[in-house]
Amino acid sequence: MRMAFLLFIIVLFAPLFSVAEMGQASSQNTALAPSLLGAENACSAPSRLPSEDDIFSVADARIVSLIPQVGNTTSDLANASILWSWSAAFPSEARFSIRDEARCPAGEIRYFSPSSPTLSGALSYSYGNSTETLPLSATSANPIPLNLSATKLADADFLQPFASLSFILRADLSIIYSFSKSSYAYRCSDMDGYTGCGCEKNHDNGFRTFKRSLSDARNFSVEVGPNSLLWLNPPLSSRLAGNGDGKVALFARRLPANLSLAFRGKEIANAQPYSFSVATGPCGEAIVGREFSSSDDAATGVFINTSAPIFPSQLVDKNASYLPFYLEFPWQADAGRANFTIVFEDAFSHQQIFSREFSVREPTPFSSLPGAAGEGGAMEKREASDDATSAAYPTRQQQAAFPDFSIIAVAFAFPLAIGALALSRRLEWL
């Protein structure tokens, strides 16, 4: 009942992941952790027959997995921990024949009443410019929390797509047995001038400590930022209305698990670049694998592909090695303000949102008059501006010249001039 309640608590407070396989593996490995410490053979290690000098049939300690982990990789934002194990198998009683003297019968040593095995050692991990050493004992925490802060990284750690994380485990496994020993020794003695030789039986008892030195090493990778996005189309702040193909280059140091593309707040495409699977490891741990598959499915509405790591130093904010992803998707729009939103989510449920705003404008309308394009007319080019996209239009028809109104103006002005002159003379007489 207590174990069922413990498993319920572990699953209840286990981290949630949008990738179902990640959630399954993390919950399973967290629940598995207590059983990996002190089992007889938690990780299917090779066994051997106990001997007088090495009582252990199994003595094993190893680095099992990261929680969470996918494809041997974790994230610096995932609050990662390390899962480890130690195992010991030994007999409750063992008897071994011993012969100290070939001229005498064989003796026997018997081991019994073993103590509980103990383990002491250390787990060291190197990340960036830091190395931390954690003490280990038979009752140490499992899993053990790690500190993978990006502040530990130097510029050199960004030369590869992922940062390096390496572990070294060293420990001594020991156990104490009670023993009783009977043996024969060949001795000679003088008595009354005679020398007599023979096998003399001896008895001994006490305690004996058996010890085995164990070690293991593992290398992992850590996804660290940044991710950058380069909009290839639409490339300008304004464009003509109509259909188009959105084209985006994603420079990633965190591999995408889900991509959602929205235009004017409505999702127009989504994609899952990787497929995930779960396998079982030698310690019973869940191992999540991922495999990239290029997508050109009309159902998802997006084409996505990738290639080998690149170092696009002129296109990103931080000089680093990136894995490029090329996305292409169709869209339609009428005139007005428009925006694209891409929600990027990695396998560890860390999200980034990229947005792009621009204006969609209709071209200035024109009429097809005689002599227009297609009917022998000329074309004129409209230059691009902040409010319009460059385009070609038929030349407007030339209008006839305005009539000359100068004669009519003189005819109206002459009587007015004569009247004004007569009025001025009359005023002089007064």
Q: How far apart are CA 42 and CA 429, in angstroms?
A: 136
DSSP string, 5-72: HHHHHHHHHSPP-SSHHHHHHHHHHHHHGGGGEEESSTT--------SS---SEEEEEEEEEES-BTT
Rg (CA), the chain: 43
Q: Is the pLDDT of residue 248 over 60?
A: yes
SS3 state at 146: coil
Half-sphere exposure of 41 (CA within 13 A, CB side): 11
The predicted structure's pLDDT at residue 422: 53
Quickly state the pLDDT bin for 306 (edges 50, 70, 90): confident
Instruction: Return the domain boundaries, the chain.
Output: 2-223, 228-361
- State percent of the chain over pLDDT 90: 51
Neighbouring-strand partners of residue 332 = 243
> How many other C-beta atoms are found inside a 10 Å radius of the C-beta of residue 339?
12
pTM score, two decimals? Answer: 0.75
Q: Which residues contact 413 (CB under 8 A, 6 or more apart)?
A: none
Please give the CATH superfamily to which domain 228-361 belongs. Immunoglobulins (2.60.40.10)
The predicted structure's pLDDT at residue 191: 79
* Residue 381: DSSP 8-state: E
> How many other C-beta atoms are found inside a 10 Å radius of the C-beta of residue 243?
8
Summarised one tens digit per residue, pLDDT across range 88-99 is 999 999 999 998
Sign of torsion, CA 17 21 24 25? negative
26 and 17 Cβ atoms separated by less than 8 Å: yes
Peptide bond into 234 cis (omega under 30): yes
Summarised one tens digit per residue, pLDDT across range 101-135 is 888 999 999 999 999 999 999 999 999 999 999 99
Quickly state the pLDDT bin for 2 (edges 50, 70, 90): very low
DSSP string, 197-230: EEEEEEEEEEEEEEEEEEEEEEEEEEE----EEE
Burial class (CB in 10 A: 0-12, 13-18, 19+), 55: buried
Q: Is the pLDDT of residue 245 over 90?
A: no
Check residue 265 and give left, alpha or beta (phi > 0: left; psi -120 to 50: alpha): left
Summarised one tens digit per residue, pLDDT across range 275-303 is 999 999 999 999 999 998 766 554 455 67
Average pLDDT over residues 24-47: 96
Report residue 158: phi and psi, to 5°.
-100, 5
Q: Is the pLDDT of residue 162 over 90?
A: yes
DSSP string, 253-302: SS-EEEEEEEETTEEEEEE--EEEEEEE-TTS-EEEEEEE--EEETTTTE
Summarised one tens digit per residue, pLDDT across range 366-425 is 444 554 444 444 555 556 555 555 554 454 555 555 455 455 444 545 455 555 555 455
The predicted structure's pLDDT at residue 366: 47
Neighbouring-strand partners of residue 286 = 280
